Amino acid sequence: MKDDARSPKATLKEHLKTAVLTLSMKPGADLDEATLSDEFSLSRTPLREVFRQLAGEGYLELRENRGARVSEMSYTTLRDFFLAAPMVYGAILRLAALNATAALIDDLKGAQQTFEAALRSGSGADRALANNRFHEITGDMADNTYLLPSFKRLLIDHARIGMTFYRPKDQVVADNLSVASAHHDAIIAAIEASDEAAAGQLAIDHWNLSRDQIELFVTPAGLDLPLGTVAHKTPA
């Protein structure tokens, strides 16, 4: 649903970001310019301006003479994600503890309240978006020209990976979400105390929780199925 308080361009941008993060638009999916132009009452020029902005942020890929598509998630990107994520998350939270302003700390507390509400009664998409917003604010706190673009790109795939492997009725997932929420509270406390070391350790703990949950579904235990009796051919 479009928000009449925002411009059509801003509404389209938010719509596309949400669709990418929640997998409503799958990785590699082509964008239909004509449909989006009609739906958001935009001509092709401002529409493509939004595409360029989102491509710069890592949500979309622009291809010459072939239009825009949702950023791919390939083996290479996933490998790079797992290699880079712990380093970038750690650096971001350490810098957040050093640079956070009172206003951003208040924003972070508000984002945590939204995340907790999503845990109680929201959908998987609600949780993914609330978690993404929490971490986006830590990036704003870090305020580093070089790290922030990489961090934002990581957050996109972190949300998409989480949506891929989220299992709403799985007790392990429910337990991990509760631990994740406790980590968020501890992150807020460490940042509020300007405790760089504690923030850095929490980044490691929080990343390990996400990694372990993802690995649980990427490499599940083998199925324990009865194979029955193997038939033997009777010699003639």
Q: What per-residue confidence (pLDDT) applies to 1?
A: 42
CATH of the domain at 88: 1.20.120.530
Q: Are residues 25 and 112 in the same domain?
A: no
Q: What per-residue confidence (pLDDT) applies to 141?
A: 98
Quick check: 199 and 93 in contact, CB under 8 A?
Answer: yes
**Residue 152: pLDDT above 90?**
yes
pLDDT 10s digits, 52-71: 999 999 999 998 878 899 99
Q: Are residues 144 and 116 in the same domain?
A: yes
Q: What per-residue confidence (pLDDT) applies to 162?
A: 82
pLDDT 10s digits, 37-53: 999 999 999 999 999 99
Closest among 166, 59, 188, 172 to 118, alpha carbons compared:
166
Where is pLDDT greater, at 72 or 162? Answer: 72
Closest among 63, 28, 64, 85 to 214, alpha carbons compared:
85
Q: Which residues contact 188 (CB under 8 A, 6 or more apart)?
A: 105, 108, 109, 112
Residue finishing a domain among 70, 102, 119? 70
pLDDT 10s digits, 7-38: 999 999 999 999 999 999 999 999 999 999 99
Residue finishing a domain among 26, 45, 70? 70
Q: What per-residue confidence (pLDDT) applies to 160?
A: 92
**Residue 122: pLDDT above 90?**
no
Number of H helices, E strands in the chain: 9, 2
Q: Are residues 79 and 66 in the same domain?
A: no
Quick check: 138 and 96 in contact, CB under 8 A?
Answer: yes
Total domains present in the chain: 2
CA 12 distance to own-chain centroid = 19
Nearest-angstrom CA–CA distance, 47 and 232:
67
